[in-house]
């Protein structure tokens, strides 16, 4: 879904595929819910002005817009970090590991990808732990947070619809041009580098070629 708050990208906010998203859902992030509420206020205001012929109802849009702005700013200070990029999918209470949900294929086919930037990895991890542990029963033995089923739940490699299977396969198996194909760097890597017995002063190879 649209993970960017409305006042940061009005063009995306008024895109045709987003116009029908005017009611908050459980699987939405807070930004998406704020966008839905603000979009709903616009629709209600238009209907009221059309029925009553009173332009003063435009104040509803202003008030709701201001309210969503305040909530967003307070949330930003409380839960997130200054270097977090809101153009990417983020952990939520209902989907802390940011995986693709079955409902996304219908409700959110254009969902954003997972943020892979190294500088936010630690922040994302902290946020995942926070969302995953919310309302989770714990006792005094959970001080190391190793008893919360973390091994069974994880973020999958694919986070977009449709998946980037070719790109993922290239990342796994594509070794690039070989030495025979003119890759000089690979030729250097192919040079033999024998293991040495560090226990001996003469550093003789552990095996003969």
- If asked whether residues 20 and 113 sit together in one domain, one would say yes
Task: Answer whether residue 91 is part of any domain.
Answer: yes
- If asked whether residues 151 and 181 sit together in one domain, one would say no
Calculate helix-pair angle for 58-79, 30-52, nearest 10 degrees.
Answer: 170
- If asked whether residues 75 and 31 sit together in one domain, one would say yes
- If asked whether residues 36 and 108 sit together in one domain, one would say yes
Question: Structural domain of residue 193, as residue ranges?
Answer: 175-209
- If asked whether residues 94 and 197 sit together in one domain, one would say no
Task: Answer whether residue 1 is part of any domain.
Answer: no
- If asked whether residues 179 and 160 sit together in one domain, one would say no
- If asked whether residues 151 and 188 sit together in one domain, one would say no
* This prediction's pTM: 0.39
pLDDT band at 81 (very low <50, low <70, confident <90, very high): very low
Number of other residues whose CB lies within 10 A of the CB of residue 135? 5
pLDDT given for residue 135 in this prediction:
75
Please give the Cα distance from 105 to 102 (Å, whole number): 6
Task: Answer whether residue 13 is part of any domain.
Answer: yes
- If asked whether residues 115 and 179 sit together in one domain, one would say no
Task: Answer whether residue 22 is part of any domain.
Answer: yes
- Count: domains in the chain: 2
Mean per-residue pLDDT of the chain: 76
- If asked whether residues 25 and 72 sit together in one domain, one would say yes
pLDDT given for residue 145 in this prediction:
58
- If asked whether residues 147 and 179 sit together in one domain, one would say no
Task: Answer whether residue 39 is part of any domain.
Answer: yes
- If asked whether residues 71 and 144 sit together in one domain, one would say yes
Of residues 137 and 170, more confidence is placed in: 170
Task: Answer whether residue 76 is part of any domain.
Answer: yes
Please work out, in degrees rounded to the nearest 5, the angle formed at the alpha carbon of residue 95 by the alpha carbons of 100 and 74.
Answer: 125
pLDDT given for residue 28 in this prediction:
79
Task: Answer whether residue 101 is part of any domain.
Answer: yes
Contacts of 123 by beta carbon, 8 Å cutoff, 6+ apart? 80, 81, 83, 84
The answer to whether residue 196 scores a pLDDT higher than 60 is: no
Please work out, in degrees rounded to the nearest 5, the angle formed at the alpha carbon of residue 107 by the alpha carbons of 104 and 109.
Answer: 60
Please give the Cα distance from 168 to 146 (Å, whole number): 30
The answer to whether residue 45 scores a pLDDT higher than 90 is: yes
pLDDT given for residue 121 in this prediction:
64
- If asked whether residues 90 and 179 sit together in one domain, one would say no
Of residues 166 and 194, more confidence is placed in: 166
Task: Answer whether residue 170 is part of any domain.
Answer: no
């Amino acid at each position: 879904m649209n993970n960017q708050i409305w006042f940061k990208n009005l063009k995306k906010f008024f895109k045709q595929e987003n116009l029908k998203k005017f009611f908050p859902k459980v699987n939405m992030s807070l930004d998406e819910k704020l966008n839905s509420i603000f979009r709903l206020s616009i629709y209600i205001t238009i209907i009221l002005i059309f029925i009553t012929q009173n332009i003063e109802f435009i104040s509803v849009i202003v008030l709701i817009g201001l309210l969503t702005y305040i909530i967003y700013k307070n949330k930003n200070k409380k839960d997130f970090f200054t270097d977090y990029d809101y153009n990417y999918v983020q952990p939520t209470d209902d989907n802390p590991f940011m995986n693709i949900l079955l409902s996304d294929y219908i409700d959110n086919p254009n969902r954003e990808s997972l943020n892979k930037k190294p500088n936010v990895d630690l922040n994302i991890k902290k946020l995942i732990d926070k969302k995953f542990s919310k309302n989770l029963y714990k006792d005094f033995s959970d001080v190391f947070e190793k008893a919360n089923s973390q091994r069974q739940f994880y973020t999958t490699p694919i986070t977009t619809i449709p998946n980037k299977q070719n790109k993922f396969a290239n990342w796994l198996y594509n070794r690039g041009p070989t030495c025979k194909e003119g890759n000089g760097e690979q030729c250097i890597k192919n040079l033999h580098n024998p293991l040495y017995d560090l226990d001996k002063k003469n550093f003789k190879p552990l095996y003969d070629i």
